[in-house]
């Protein structure tokens, strides 16, 4: 029998607060800072349960990865928009990638998604009705003027190849 290809999924705080269905063909990763951010008892239980079952690995990425993330997020203009926990999650993505894994980040945070796309990670948005900071940003192509609702791969326009920009959306 062929072993299913495991997907390597990085979970942020919202995944534990809202709940995330653990799948048999996925392995989960997070950083310890996430647990500190969870205030809800149910969220803490989800975290501890996944960790003790062995499905969730709690990893602190080495400093070389957080240093690399800091440099790349600064050059992307995202450094000041990312929380320390966001940065640790993205640094963990760099670490996993260096191990030959293809990290998928579950986050509803626009800056995390944007940075994930720039780093060549896939990302999944969990919700997101009601999450205002997602819809408050518009992504557009300065080349062909197309607008996008979600970040595009490598932050590049799939139509004309221009690097995408973003701006706050009105109303
Ligand atoms: Zn374009």
Among 92, 98, 70, 94, CA closest to 82: 70
Nearest 5°: the CA angle 131, 137, 143 is 150
Could you give the number of structural domains in the chain?
2
Segment 16-47, tens digit of pLDDT: 988 888 888 889 999 999 999 999 999 999 99
Does 98 score more than 80 pLDDT? yes
Q: 96 with 154, same domain?
A: no
How many Å lie between the centroid of ligand 1 and the Cα of residue 152? 11
Q: How confident is the model at residue 134 (pLDDT cuts 50, 70, 90)?
A: very low
How many Å lie between the centroid of ligand 1 and the Cα of residue 147? 9
Question: Contact at 8 Å (CB) between 115 and 76?
Answer: yes
Lowest mean pLDDT, pick from 33-42, 56-65, 126-135: 126-135
Residue 24: half-sphere exposure toward Cβ, Cα within 13 Å: 2
Residue 166: half-sphere exposure toward Cβ, Cα within 13 Å: 23
How many Å lie between the centroid of ligand 1 and the Cα of residue 131? 27
**Structural domain that includes position 159:** 136-171
Q: Looking at residue 101, which CATH number applies to its domain?
A: 3.40.50.1010
Please give the pLDDT value at position 48.
Answer: 94
């Amino acid at each position: 029998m062929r072993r299913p290809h495991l997907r390597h999924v990085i979970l942020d705080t919202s995944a534990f607060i809202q709940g995330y269905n653990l799948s048999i063909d996925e392995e989960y990763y997070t950083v310890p800072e996430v647990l500190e951010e969870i205030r809800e008892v149910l969220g803490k239980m989800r975290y501890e349960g996944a960790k003790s079952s062995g499905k969730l690995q709690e990893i602190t990425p080495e400093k070389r990865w957080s240093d690399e993330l800091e440099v790349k997020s600064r050059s992307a203009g995202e450094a000041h928009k990312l929380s320390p926990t966001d940065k640790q999650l993205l640094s963990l993505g760099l670490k996993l990638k260096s191990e030959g894994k293809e990290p998928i980040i579950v986050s509803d945070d626009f800056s995390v998604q944007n940075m994930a796309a720039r780093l060549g990670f896939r990302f999944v948005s969990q919700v997101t009705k009601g999450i205002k900071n997602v819809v408050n940003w518009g992504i557009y192509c300065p080349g062909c003027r197309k607008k996008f609702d979600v970040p595009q791969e490598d932050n590049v326009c799939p139509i004309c190849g221009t690097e995408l920009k973003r701006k706050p959306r009105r109303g």
